[in-house]
């Protein structure tokens, strides 16, 4: 793709992230899973990508799902602070996956249907401090605590910032390269704009033989996706700071959009592009442009 990517093509690309672009193939998903799980599945292991579109209802899609050796693995990258509702979101995601994998009407057969065992992993590379590893449980969200919950779901969260979980990164050149790339961007941001920071990081990584093939082939896409992702993270912080979540609930009940429109105006004043504003507020492009 040329450097002069038009806005329409760029917006379509926003449906992916650098994470999903890098690890979204069977080969790379297998490499990453071997590093995370400590397994050593050979390169010819069958991996079927089954990632769902928009299923996690995230502002950006950083999820990869695949079936391997009787397991259905859901991997999610998180760049902002960890969402404490991730187990519930994973439950909703998994329900949709099983619905598709069992083909609807098969559920009504008398014979038991075999389904792949679920495994949920979040890879955290945000800037806020977090332990190398922690577990999140669906049962922690139950209003009534139970010694033996009738339903539970466990999410494993790994910190993949540079220098954390070093043994895991050492088992995947793609993962260690990704960590180096993100760390380089953050260091550059101390003295550069986001676009410049990404471009300089790409050149630096290629010169150091880090993610060379990926960054050479997808350089302009990487710029566009990261610019969108990181602007979106900042935009979401603006939304939360303004209490927009509560405002949306009240506004929807009253049929009002005043709070959303004001947030959109504030975001325009801060220089966010129309695509990001639409994604955060749910307003149409025409409504945003008309402000």
Please check whether residue 40 lies inside any domain of the structure.
Answer: yes
CB 18, CB 229: distance < 8 Å: yes
% pLDDT > 90, the chain: 52
pLDDT of residue 38: 95
Q: Taking residues 212-235, what's their average pLDDT?
A: 82
Note the pTM of the prediction, 2 decimals: 0.77
Give the residue, 37 or 281, on which the prediction is more confident: 37
Average the pLDDT over each of 129-133, 166-170, 283-287 and give the range with the smallest value.
283-287
Q: Taking residues 39-51, what's their average pLDDT?
A: 96
Instruction: Output the 3-class SS for 93-116.
Output: HHHHHHHHHCCHHHHHCCCCCCCC
pLDDT of residue 11: 35
Please check whether residue 223 lies inside any domain of the structure.
Answer: no
Confidence tier at 191 by pLDDT (50, 70, 90): very high
Please check whether residue 192 lies inside any domain of the structure.
Answer: no
Instruction: Please classify residue 54 by burial: count the beta carbons closer than 10 Å to its beta carbon, then call 0-12 exposed, 13-18 middle and 19+ buried.
Output: exposed
Tens of pLDDT, residue by residue over 75-124, are: 999 877 788 889 998 999 999 899 888 887 778 888 888 999 999 999 99
Please check whether residue 51 lies inside any domain of the structure.
Answer: yes
Q: For 113-176, give the DSSP string.
A: PP-PEEEEEEEE--SS---SEEEEEGGGG-SS--SS-SS--EEEEEE-STTSSHHHHHT-HHHH
Full residue range of the structural domain in which residue 123 is found: 7-171
Please check whether residue 257 lies inside any domain of the structure.
Answer: no
Tens of pLDDT, residue by residue over 258-291, are: 677 877 888 777 777 787 778 777 788 888 888 8
Q: What mean pLDDT is reported for the chain?
A: 83
Q: Taking residues 149-162, what's their average pLDDT?
A: 96
Confidence tier at 37 by pLDDT (50, 70, 90): very high
pLDDT of residue 234: 64
Please check whether residue 52 lies inside any domain of the structure.
Answer: yes
Please check whether residue 32 lies inside any domain of the structure.
Answer: yes
Number of domains observed in the structure of the chain: 1
Please check whether residue 177 lies inside any domain of the structure.
Answer: no
């Amino acid at each position: 793709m040329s450097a002069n990517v038009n806005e329409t093509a760029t917006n379509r690309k926003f449906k992916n992230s650098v994470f999903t672009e890098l690890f979204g193939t069977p080969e790379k998903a297998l490499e990453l899973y071997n590093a995370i799980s400590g397994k050593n599945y050979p390169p010819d292991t069958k991996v079927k990508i089954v990632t769902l579109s928009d299923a996690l209802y995230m502002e950006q899609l950083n999820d990869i799902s695949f079936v391997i050796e009787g397991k259905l693995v859901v991997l999610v990258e998180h760049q902002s602070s960890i969402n404490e509702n991730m187990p519930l979101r994973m439950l909703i995601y998994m329900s949709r996956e099983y619905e598709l994998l069992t083909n609807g009407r098969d559920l009504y057969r008398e014979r038991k249907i075999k389904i792949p065992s679920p495994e949920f992993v979040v890879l955290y590379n945000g800037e806020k401090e977090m332990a190398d590893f922690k577990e999140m449980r669906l049962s922690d969200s139950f209003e009534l605590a139970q010694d033996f919950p009738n339903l539970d779901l466990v999410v494993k969260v790994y910190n993949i910032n540079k220098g954390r979980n070093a043994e895991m990164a050492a088992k995947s050149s793609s993962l260690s390269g990704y960590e180096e790339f993100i760390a380089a961007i953050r260091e550059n941001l101390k003295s550069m704009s986001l676009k410049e920071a990404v471009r300089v990081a790409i050149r630096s990584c290629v010169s150091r033989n880090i993610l060379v093939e990926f960054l050479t082939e997808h350089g302009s896409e990487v710029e566009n996706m990261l610019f969108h992702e990181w602007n979106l993270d900042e935009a979401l912080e603006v939304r939360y700071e303004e209490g927009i979540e509560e405002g949306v609930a009240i506004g929807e009940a009253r049929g009002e959009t005043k709070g959303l429109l004001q947030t959109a105006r504030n975001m325009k004043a801060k220089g966010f592009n129309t695509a990001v504003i639409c994604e955060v507020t749910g307003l149409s492009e025409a409504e945003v442009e008309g402000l």
